[in-house]
Chain A
Amino acid sequence: MDQPRTFSSWLIIAVLVVAAIGLPFVVPTYYVQFATKALIMGLLAMALNLAVGHGGLVSLCHAAFFGVAGYMLAILTPKYDPASLWLTLPVAVGTAAFVALVIGALALRTRGVYFIMVTLAFGEMLFYLFHDTKIAGGSDGAYVNTKPEVAIAGYQLLNLEKPIVFYLVVLACLIGTVALIDMLVRSPFGRALAAARDNERRARSLGFPIFRVRLTAFVISGALAGVAGYFAAAQFGFVAPQMLGWHQSATVLVMVLLGGLRSVAGPLVGAIVLMGLEEVLKATTVYWKLVEGLIVVIIVLALPNGVRQLLTLTFGEPAQDKPAAHAVPATTKQPVTEAGHG
C-alpha cells in the first residue's frame, strides 16, 4: 500500500478497468444485473472499510446509511415520473452523511467493543424507525417505480433504465470511489487516521485531533455507503427495512474481511467473491445458508487476512511482500483490541 505504483501495477489496473467496461457487452443481461449488484455491494464494502480497515472503527450500522439513502430515493421519486438524479443523489447522500455525523458523534465517544455495540444499536434504531412508522410503507417497504433521470435542460443524457448504461454509471461511481479512498488513505488525513488506529495514545500525544479525524472518516464512509444505497434502491426498484438491518451490516463486514482489511479495492473483491459464492450455493443446495455460515467461520479461523492470503497460500509469497506479510497478523489485532492501551 505504501509503495509508489509501478508500471506493471498501473497496467493491471488498466486491464481490469477495460475488462469491467467491456463485460456488459459480452454477457447476458442477467449477469449484467448481477455484476451491477456486486459492484454496488463492493462500493458499500469499500465505504465500510474506510472506517473498519483504515480507521479501526468496527461499525455495525453501515447498512443504516445504505438504507437511509435508498429510502430517500424512494421518498423523492414521484409515482409515475422519474426523479432527477442531480437532485436526488445529493439529497440521499447528504442524508446518509448527516445520519453518519449524528451516530458517529455519539458512538465515537466510546471505544472498541462499545463502539461495535453502540453502532449496532443505533443501526437497529433506524431499522425500527422505518419498520414501525408509516414512512415509505413501514414494514412492507416501498417501490421505486422508475430509475432516476439524468438530464440537462430537458435533454436526457443517460437512460438508466438500460441495464448496460446503469452498470456503467455504477462502475464510474465505483472507480471514483476507489480513487477517492486511495487519495484519502495516502493523504496526511489518512496517515492521521491510521496513526489513531495503530496507537491511539501516541497519536493523541503527537497532537492529532483524533475525534475529528475519526468523525470525518466515519462521515465520508457513511456518505459513500449512501451512494451505494442510492444505486441499490434504483436497481432493485424497491426499498424495505431489511436494507437497514444489522444482518446486512454484518454481511458487508464479511465482505470486507474476505477482501482484506488494509487494501482499498480488496473489499470489492470480497463482495464479488461472497456474492458469487452465494449465487453458486443457492443453485446447488436448499440449505445454502448453513454452508455459507460454515464458510464464513472457516474464513475467520483460517484466513484472518482475507482472500489475499488465500492467493498467497496458493501461489507463494511475492518477494517484496514478505516483511509486510509477517507484520499483518499483529496489525489486524491492533485496531480494536489494542486501541487505548498503547
Chain B
Amino acid sequence: MDFVTFGVQLLNAVQYGMVLFLVASGLTLVFGILGVINLAHGAFYMLGAYLAYWIAAYTGSFWLALVGGVIIAFVVGWLLEIVFVRRLYGRDHLAQVLLSFGLILMVDEIRLILFGKDVHSVAPPAFLSGAIQLTDNMSYPVYRLAICVFCLVVAAAIFLVITRTKIGMIVRAGAENREMARVLGIPFDRVNRYVFAVGIALAALGGIVVSPISTVFPGMGDGMLILSFVVVVLGGIGSVAGAAIGALLIGLTDTFGKVFFPSISSILIYVLMAAVLLWCPNGILGRREV
C-alpha cells in the first residue's frame, strides 16, 4: 500500500469513526444519564436518513433536510419519552430491551408506510460536492472532509455543554448520583426529556450526514445500532470521551480491515471488542460498577 492510498484510507477511517461517534454518543448519553438501554437507536438513525431524503426531495435543499430532520427527530424523541420511555426508569434492562424492540418494529413499519421500501440517495449540497486536491496525487471528496469538520464541531459542542454549562452539570450530577441530585431539587422529569430527545436527534443526525455518501435503505439502522453498541462497550458506558475513543478504534479497524482482510473485516471489530473486554470488562473509560 502506497502512501496516497494509506492517507485516503486513514481519512476514510476518521470520517467513519466521526459518524459512529455522533450516533454512539447519543446512545451513551441516554444510557449514562437515564439508565435506559435503547435498542431503537439504530431505527432513528435510519429514520434520520429517510427524513433527509424526503425533505431534500421536496425542497431541494440539503440544509433544510439537515435542520428539519434533526428537529423532527428531536420532537419525536420528546414525545416518545413522554408516552413510553419515562415509564421505564428504574425498570430492569430486560423491559427496556423489549420496549425498544417494540419501538423498532413500529418505527420500521411507519417508515415503510411513509417512505416505502425503496433505496434512495441524497445529493450533497452543491459547494460540498466534488473532490479536493490535498497533495499532488491525492484527492479526497469534499463532503467527507466536511463530515469530519462538522462532527468535530458537534463533538466539541457536546463536550463543552457537558463540562462547562449548568445543564451539563445537572446531567453529570444525574449520571453520578441520581438520588442525591433529585434530593437537591434538580427537575429530572424535564431534564430526562431533553436528554432522550437529544439522544434521538444525535442518532438521526448521524443518518442525515451519511445520506449523501451512503445509500438510504431500510436495514441501515441495524448495522449502525450494533456498531454503536460495540463503540459504547469499548469506550465504557456513559462516557462520551470513551465513545470518541471507541468510535475512532472501530473506524480504523473496519476501514483497514476491509483493505487488508476483506473477507473477515466485519468480524475483526468483534475480535477487537473481545480483546478489549478481556483486558478491561467495563470498557476503556468505564466505571467499575454499572
A-to-B contact residues, CB < 8 Å: 52, 58, 60, 106, 109-114, 116-118, 120-122, 124-125, 128-129, 131-133, 245-247, 250-251, 253-254, 257, 261, 287, 289-290, 292-297, 299-301, 304, 332-337, 340-341
CB distance from A58 to the nearest CB of B (A): 5
Is B289 engaged at the interface, CB distance under 8 Å to the other chain? yes
Q: Which chain B positions have C-beta within 8 A of A337?
A: 90, 92-93
Residue of A nearest to B230 (CB): A121
Q: Which chain A positions have C-beta within 8 A of B273?
A: 118, 121
Residues in B96-141 with C-beta less than 8 Å from chain A:
97-99, 101-106, 108-110, 112-113
Is B74 engaged at the interface, CB distance under 8 Å to the other chain? no
Contacts A116-B93, A121-B226, A250-B101; is A132 near B290 (CB within 8 Å)? no
Among A112, A120, A121, A292, max chain B CB count under 10 A is at A121
Q: Tell which of A124, A246, A253, A336 touches B98, judged by Cβ atoms closer than 8 Å.
A: A253
Q: Tell which of A106, A113, A245, A341 touches B277, judged by Cβ atoms closer than 8 Å.
A: A106
Size of the chain B interface, CB-CB below 8 angstroms: 48
CB distance from A251 to the nearest CB of B (A): 8
CB distance from A119 to the nearest CB of B (A): 10
How far is it, in angstroms, between the C-alpha of A196 and the C-alpha of B24 when the chains are bound? 32
Q: Which chain B positions have C-beta within 8 A of A336?
A: 92-94
CB distance from A79 to the nearest CB of B (A): 25
Is B168 engaged at the interface, CB distance under 8 Å to the other chain? no
Q: Which chain A positions have C-beta within 8 A of B282?
A: 110, 114
Q: Are B106 and A301 in contact (CB under 8 A)?
A: no
Q: Are B93 and A58 in contact (CB under 8 A)?
A: yes
Known contacts A254-B101, A333-B90; can you find 14 more A-B pairs with CB under 8 A?
Answer: A113-B37, A114-B282, A121-B230, A121-B273, A124-B270, A125-B270, A250-B39, A289-B105, A293-B106, A293-B108, A296-B98, A297-B84, A334-B92, A340-B289
Q: Which chain B positions have C-beta within 8 A of A124?
A: 226, 270
Q: Are A333 and B98 in contact (CB under 8 A)?
A: no
Q: Are A300 and B233 in contact (CB under 8 A)?
A: no
Chain B interface, DSSP helix/strand/loop, else mixed: helix
Q: Tell which of A111, A245, A297 touches B102, judged by Cβ atoms closer than 8 Å.
A: A297
Q: Which chain A positions have C-beta within 8 A of B289?
A: 111, 340-341
Q: Are B94 and A290 in contact (CB under 8 A)?
A: no
Q: Which chain B positions have C-beta within 8 A of A334?
A: 92
Q: Tell which of B91, B97, B106 touches A290, judged by Cβ atoms closer than 8 Å.
A: B106
B-to-A contact residues, CB < 8 Å: 31, 37, 39, 84, 87, 90-95, 97-99, 101-106, 108-110, 112-113, 222, 226, 229-230, 232-233, 237, 263-267, 269-270, 273-274, 277-278, 281-283, 289-290
Q: Are B267 and A300 in contact (CB under 8 A)?
A: no
Q: Tell which of A117, A261, A300, A341 touches B99, judged by Cβ atoms closer than 8 Å.
A: A300
Which 3 pairs from chain A and chain B are nearest by CB? A293-B105, A296-B102, A125-B270
Q: Tell which of B93, B103, B265 touches A293, judged by Cβ atoms closer than 8 Å.
A: B103
